[in-house]
Chains A and B, each alone.
Chain A
Amino acid sequence: MSKPKLVLIGNGMAGVRTLEELLKLAPGKYDITVFGAEPHPNYNRILLSPVLAGEKKLEDIILNDEAWYAEHGITLHKGKKVVAIDRVRRCVRTEDGTEAGYDRLLLATGSAPFILPVPGKDLEGVVGFRDIRDVELMLEASEKHRHAVVIGGGLLGLEAANGLKKRGMDVTVVHLLDTLMERQLDKPAAALLQRALEDSGLDFKLEAQTEALLGEGRVRAVRFKDGSEVPADLVVMAVGIRPNIELAKASGIHCERGILVSDTMQTFDPQVYAVGECVQHRGELFGLVAPLFEQAKVCANHLAEFGIARYEGSVTSTKLKVTGIDLFSAGEYQGGAGCEELLFQDPSRGVYKKLVVRDNKVAGAVLYGDTVDGAWYFQMMRDGTDISAFRENILFGQAHMGDSGHGAESHAARLPEDAEVCGCNGVCKKTIVDAIVQKKLFTLDEVRAHTKASASCGSCTGLVEQILQSTLGSDYSVSPAKKPLCKCTDLTHEEVREAVRIQGLKTIPELMGSLGWRTPDGCHACRPALNYYLLCQWPNEYRDDPQSRFINERVHANIQKDGTYSVVPRIWGGVTNPRELRAIADVAEKFQVPCVKITGGQRIDLLGVPKAQLPAIWAELGKHGLMSGHAYGKSLRTVKTCVGKEWCRFGTQDSTTLGIELEKMTWGSWTPAKVKMAVSGCPRNCAEATIKDFGVVAVDSGWELHVGGNGGVKVRATDFLCKVQTDEEVMEYAAAYMQLYREEARYLERTAHWIERVGLPYLQSRIVDDAAGRRALCARFLESQRKAQIDPWAERAQGAEKHEFEPLTPAERKAHACIA
């Protein structure tokens, strides 16, 4: 059977990246043919600037050489421009008459420089800045001529001007407006930039409108509206780009400014996909590679017929690739209505930083002179991190945040070559830089795979990202906005959960099959997550997969460093009695438990129990009404209480009873990570409720509810959620909170991190403001608890999962047993 045919028009960065992604997902699915108008294999267009500046050679920037196409069985037609698409016969034709039929067509025709429609635009010596040919023309001119004029003071224009200056030309940059890079920079940053570029020898002519290019044969000068002239033997037009859509338009595919595509990167004709600068998605055009690579991923997913990825637009950031100038810009850099601006200025050091903040989230950033924290701000911007907790320090950068781990060393560009970057794997900066350059790495993941840097503990991730940035001098190197769930897939936690829900996936093998998992049965990172997501989505149907649980949850006890286990019975609200205590004491004695310890969660830990003894101990405890305390699970752990108004002279409410009720409602529930609760009887807060995942503090008129606290490595005090009056309300809010956390947090994400990611206002909108929504969440929680509240110890004491606790016996002994 012959394979379906895929034709790619446009042998550039977005199109070929799509093929690479496709080959990862479904190698050999298609017969692939590529048409490229340029006479080169796919190269890294971004690096044309350093090539022009003499910092790189042309051969250094080839991304996919001809051998790559051959190795993957791809037919490459270089130097052949497609001039017609026949959508009825499904075939394309080039200028020289070459034809190719397709089942799927991918348009990635990029864009072309916009050439000002002024007299003289066709003179020799007038070029755009887009491809290798343009660079060759510029280099030729720089050898023979003296005067260059660059029209356009944006990113591309400045990079061209810088390159030509480096090649020894006298360069004037002409710009229509009064500030440079107005699409990325605010005025103060633009002024700093202009001064630095002037110091390096560039001339500027701002607020100048070009009227004509003068000369016969070759250009000689540029004339402006005000009558003035500047000599020019070379004119580079860098005033903007226009998507290449003529071909698509002529074949009847719907276009506006670009080729219109849906979230699945399909054009109006479902056989035809489009990616890259030629597309228009939700009204937006794109001119940077980061979003194009995201599109490539989504498009490949659909070409591979996995059918689940969606492109929902991108946030982008920019860096100027002019050596010696540090500049970073992202998002809404201008600020304006509804925004606040945080500013830092140190003119003598030439440092300027501005963060635009909206609703306590970073909405944009402009950094000049010190861009070390660009990646960090950008990450927070994409993640929508709530910055209220550290906003007074945020401008000083991540190094001042206390526990980032790499403080002063984080000036990646200034690090010496032999500095160790990744302590775990002993990788120094030079190894990373060499790998990036020689193996042409683009992303953090690729650096990880090739050098192992940041592949282990990950605390050097930020630094590695900065090295990527300073080496490539570009913005596309930051890790993709979407973090895949694990290495077995490209999908995020959220995408997987959505697929589970929408496609009705009910088992792990089914899920892996239909979402195109790269491994036959996942890995130790994804399987527990998937097991949890399925359990959470289908509470009454899903059959738990013990083999996809960490050992602690599989055997319902905590493994200790010596391979023994600990046993912690539930002690409701921390209240016990002589009968229970006696039972625990008897068990400890009978089984010679080596250590008995009171835990921080107001219960008793029996440590050092061999695995084979667990069912017997549980059976014995069970006789006295003691059950599992889930001290080992990503689940509700304890509800800590104080003695409250029953005993305490300050107490205003019965915190103990409420604590016990909360524990009775929530025990047995599986959650993304462990959950601890506490109830205090007055604001003196003896139960330490304000460092718990859910804390309740009594006040005269009712209860205050607090969320997202955490003891541990980094202590985080809770956020105040709201105040309620009655015990019943506490229960309802607690259940709704638990369920929202269960449904929306990522596996292994504690409530503290979850809330920092989504922001307190979001929680309030779902739990406090939306009463109907809260009740629905509460109902779903209680429903999921119906089957969850089964004591796992009792089941196992009665023989469930027996094989877990018994070693195998070699056959000789077994044989005797049979005979006897």
Chain B
Amino acid sequence: MSHWTPIARLEDIPRQGARVVASPQGKVAVFRTVDDRVFALLDRCPHKGGPLSEGIVHGARVACPLHNWVIELDSGQAVAPDEGCVRRFDVRLEDGMVAIALAGGPTGR
């Protein structure tokens, strides 16, 4: 679909790390897990807006650098006991290119 915007090659994002990309919806953090899966979340922790892109990525989760809330990368949900949810974006990996569905529409949510 035309909504997909390519943003980086997989190796541009550090394993167990993230990069940030600007979008009309605000900064988006694009994560790469230890087993090379990619996820994208709005770069704003549901707690107090901390930059999730700066957190420690472990499994398919990230720990917010400000107060250590842990967020599920696939759903954007905070791991209990904390409660909250951050907007997620669809991402896909094709031929080593990471593309993200930015503008909303059928592939966004």
Contact = CB atoms under 8 A, between A and B. Distances in A.
A binds B: yes
Interface of A: 424-425, 452, 455-456, 519-524, 527-528, 546-548, 550-552, 554-555, 559, 561, 563, 803, 807-812
Given A547-B15, A808-B8, A811-B5, A524 B58 contact: yes
B66 A520 contact: no
A624 to B, nearest CB: 29
A552 B65 CA distance: 9
B34 to A, nearest CB: 4
Given A524-B70, A810-B21, A550 B12 contact: no
A522 B33 CA distance: 12
Interface in B41-73: 48-51, 54-59, 61, 63, 65-66, 68, 70
A810 B6 contact: yes
Nearest to A523: B58
B16 A547 contact: yes
Contacts of B78: none
B19 A551 contact: no
Contacts, number: 89
A424 B81 contact: yes
Sorting the interface of chain B by its residue count into under 10, 10 to 19, 20 to 34 or 35 or more gives 35 or more
Contacts of A455: 81
Which 4 pairs of residues, A with B, have the shortest CB-CB distance?
A524-B63, A811-B6, A547-B16, A524-B56
B99 to A, nearest CB: 8
Nearest to B33: A521
B16 A803 contact: no
Nearest to A488: B58
Contact of A548 (B35, B54, B56): B56
Contacts of B68: 524
Nearest to A549: B56
A807 B65 contact: no
Interface centre among A456, A527, A528, A810 (most CB of B within 10 A): A810
Interface SS of chain B: loop
A812 B5 contact: yes
Contacts of A563: 49-51, 54
A803 B58 contact: no
A21 B30 CA distance: 38
Interface in B69-86: 70, 80-81
Interface centre among B15, B23, B54, B61 (most CB of A within 10 A): B54
A807 B20 contact: yes
Nearest to A526: B58
A559 to B, nearest CB: 6
Contacts of B80: 452
15 contacts: A424-B81, A425-B81, A456-B81, A519-B58, A519-B59, A520-B34, A521-B58, A522-B58, A524-B55, A524-B63, A524-B70, A547-B14, A555-B54, A561-B48, A811-B6
Contacts of B55: 524, 551
Given A809-B7, A810-B6, 19 more contacts: A455-B81, A456-B81, A520-B34, A521-B58, A521-B59, A523-B58, A524-B56, A524-B58, A524-B63, A524-B70, A551-B55, A555-B54, A561-B66, A803-B12, A807-B20, A808-B12, A810-B5, A811-B6, A812-B5
B86 to A, nearest CB: 15
Contacts of B12: 803, 808
Interface centre among B34, B57, B58 (most CB of A within 10 A): B58
B89 to A, nearest CB: 12
Nearest to B6: A811
Contact of B56 (A520, A547, A559, A808): A547
B58 A551 contact: no
A521 B102 CA distance: 29
Nearest to A806: B19
A372 B73 CA distance: 43
Nearest to B100: A810
A546 B17 CA distance: 9
A425 B12 CA distance: 39
Contacts of B17: 546-547
Nearest to A422: B81
Nearest to B102: A810
Nearest to B17: A547
A456 B83 CA distance: 13
Contact of B30 (A524, A552, A808): A808
Interface string B1-29: 00001111000111111011111000100
B31 to A, nearest CB: 11
Contacts of A523: 56, 58-59, 61, 63
Contacts of B6: 810-811
A455 B17 CA distance: 26
A468 B39 CA distance: 41
Contacts of A555: 54
B7 A811 contact: yes
A554 B51 CA distance: 14
A524 B55 CA distance: 8
